[in-house]
Structure 1
Amino acid sequence: MWQRIVSSEGGRSALMISPPFLYALLLLAFPLAAIFLFSFWTQDFMTVDTTFTLDNYREIATQPIYGTLLKRSLYVSACVTAVTVLLAFPVAYYVSFHVRPERKSLWLFLITIPFWTSYLIRVFLWKVILGFNGVINTGLINIGLIEEPLTFILYNVNAVIITLAHAFAPFAILPIFVALEKIDRSLLEAAQDLGENRVMTFFRVTLPLAMPGVVAAVLIVFIPTIGDYVTPELMGGAGGKLIANMIQTQFLALNNAPLGAALAIVAMVCVSAIALVFVLLNRRWLRGRS
């Protein structure tokens, strides 16, 4: 039996994919299934009632605070994604088209340097930069542009967006760079030979061919930012908390894991729906241009 499995092509393929499949099943599927199951239970302090109920979802639908936090989370994620991708594209474009091939690896090395430091350290550094007596306020006061420190750049949604955009910048630059590297340069030369200027060549040739990288960057940034709770906790203040902070509060502070699980499921469904719509719209747009 074992020799028959090993000798067949299908058996060898099954043996090759079985370790990563089991790994994904144990570390992804089972935890998600447990969270989904928990969302239909209730908890009274340390006692978990496993009776099937929709009370958690009813509470989410009826209590305005959950809808407010979810809308704020989607808004912050959308802003972070837009800012990050718009700033990442010029960097990736410059490295791909204007940096000599032997120096591209150095530039990529410099782009990934932020990964060398802890995420918490980077957040605290932005806290120092944006603080009441931080680098920005001190510098603006010293050069005479302002008389009092700016208060709208810390402990609000703006600080969360700035910090997350910086933290996820490398995740946007790298996929866009890979997509730009795959573009055949002869296509750009052909477009210019046919009378297109540089701007129209970019919009009609370069950008459409780079869209897979842009889509990947959008999804890579948008999906994890909506689940980030460290940055809103440290930088957002009372008005910058997101849905992830409420999930963390339900699980740890309020000891209400079922409601936290239901909030997590609702957030995942919203993110999945938005990501799917974005991918479908992008695919239709690419078909329309082809």
Structure 2
Amino acid sequence: MKSGLSSENKSGLLLVSPPFLTALVLLAGPLCMILLLSFWSQDFLTLDRTLTTANYVEAATDPLYGQLLARSLYIAAMVTLVTVLTAFPVAYFISFHVHPSRKSLWLFLITIPFWTSYLIRVFLWKVILGYNGVVNSGLVGLGLIDEPLSFILYNLNAVVITLAHAFAPFAILPIFVALEKIDRSLLEASQDLGESKLRTFFRVTLPLAMPGVVAAVLIVFIPVIGDYITPRLVGGPGGLMIANMIQTQFLKLNNAPMGAALAVTAMLSVTIISLLFVWLNRRYLRGR
């Protein structure tokens, strides 16, 4: 029996080893290099490998970096909120009101935005939200406004709208999967016991769907922090995020250690907020 278990363990380790080594080399390796680089310093093309915390001190004391990080977290939170709030009704409708034979078609339609390049989608939103774009032209043509709106492009609003559309499928799919796993008999039992449909939703459906909601929040929140294309194209000067500064440090200022320190700071901030959110969600579910 022991030899059999040992053989199974060896087979399991043999199967797991290639993806584990791949993840170690391609993910953990670069992260460790970025962490080490953040403790170095650079004077244009000269890289000093003497360990120092000067980059982190500058990142903590310079108000520009703090402002960009705070703005990035705010934009990520708003994008996550808008995306999840709009994705949940779509996922709920597909799960509870679409015939099982047509659910695959609906999910297929949701993935259509992935057929085009992310960059093209951002440019399309730039055209839609522009001063003479589709939205403004339509509102002026209908007589709802006298002059084009200027607050929907080259600011935070444009960044939130564009990113919320881009990440919508990532939020819909995990919520849909969680809703599909809910035993419908539990909902019927709740209503048989006198609960209304609204109270059944908040007391049964929503708590059971929370794993999908948590997954959607993390899937959207984490990558939004690192987005720099959308803020650059539709955000304007007031919509730039911490990723744009990291790009500037690496590619324009030739200060890779400072860019690495900002990247590590952003990753730590996202990690702390994500863990706090998961902890609060667990407390909420236990309280139910």
User: What TM-score, normalized to structure 2?
Assistant: 0.98
Aligned to 1:168: 167
> Is 1:215 paired with 2:214?
yes
Aligned to 2:72: 73
Aligned to 1:87: 86
What is the correspondence of 1:158-237 to structure 2 with a 5 Å cutoff?
158-237=157-236
Deviation of 1:256 (Å): 0.5
Q: In 2, distance between residues paired with 1:263 and 1:251?
A: 11
Any idea what the Cα deviations from partners look like across 1:40-69, whole Å, max 9, x if unmatched?
Answer: 000111110000001101111111000000
Verify the 8 A CA contact 1:5 1:12 in the aligned structure 2: no
SS in 2 for 1:168: helix
C-alpha RMSD over aligned residues: 1.2
Unaligned 5+ residue runs, structure 1?
A: none
Name the amino acid aligned to 2:30: P
> Is 1:16 paired with 2:15?
yes
Aligned to 2:248: 249
Aligned to 2:150: 151
SS in 1 for 2:182: coil
SS in 2 for 1:151: coil
Q: In 2, distance between residues paired with 1:177 and 1:6?
A: 38
Q: In 1, distance between residues paired with 2:194 and 2:5?
A: 59
Name the amino acid aligned to 1:279: V
Any idea what the Cα deviations from partners look like across 1:47-100, whole Å, max 9, x if unmatched?
Answer: 100000011011111110000000000000000000000000000000000000
Aligned to 2:55: 56
Q: In 1, distance between residues paired with 2:5 and 2:235?
A: 56
SS in 1 for 2:42: strand
Deviation of 1:252 (Å): 0.4
Moved more, 156-165 or 53-62: 53-62
Deviation of 1:6 (Å): 11
SS in 2 for 1:43: strand
> Is 1:98 paired with 2:94?
no
Verify the 8 A CA contact 1:6 1:12 in the aligned structure 2: no
User: What TM-score, normalized to structure 1?
Assistant: 0.97
Unaligned 5+ residue runs, structure 2?
A: none
Name the amino acid aligned to 2:142: I
Verify the 8 A CA contact 1:5 1:11 in the aligned structure 2: no
Q: In 1, distance between residues paired with 2:124 and 2:12?
A: 48
- Runs of 4+ displaced beyond 4 Å: 4-7
Deviation of 1:245 (Å): 0.2
**1:7–1:215 distance in 2 versus 1, CA, 3 Å:** closer
Moved more, 257-266 or 7-16: 7-16
Aligned to 2:285: 286
Q: In 2, distance between residues paired with 1:7 and 1:286?
A: 39
Any idea what the Cα deviations from partners look like across 1:130-161, whole Å, max 9, x if unmatched?
Answer: 00110001011111111111110000010000
Give the length in aligned residue pairs.
Answer: 286
Verify the 8 A CA contact 1:177 1:213 in the aligned structure 2: yes
Identity across the alignment (%): 74
Q: In 2, distance between residues paired with 1:177 and 1:247?
A: 35
Any idea what the Cα deviations from partners look like across 1:95-139, whole Å, max 9, x if unmatched?
Answer: 000000000000000001001110000000000000011000101
Q: In 2, distance between residues paired with 1:49 and 1:19?
A: 35
Q: In 2, distance between residues paired with 1:188 and 1:61?
A: 50
SS in 2 for 1:128: helix
Any idea what the Cα deviations from partners look like across 1:179-237, whole Å, max 9, x if unmatched?
Answer: 00000000000001111111011011000000000000000000000110000000100
Aligned to 1:41: 40
Q: In 1, distance between residues paired with 2:118 and 2:60?
A: 34
**1:18–1:196 distance in 2 versus 1, CA, 3 Å:** same
**1:212–1:147 distance in 2 versus 1, CA, 3 Å:** same
Q: In 2, distance between residues paired with 1:5 and 1:45?
A: 60
Q: In 1, distance between residues paired with 2:222 and 2:168?
A: 14
Deviation of 1:10 (Å): 1.6
Deviation of 1:7 (Å): 6.6
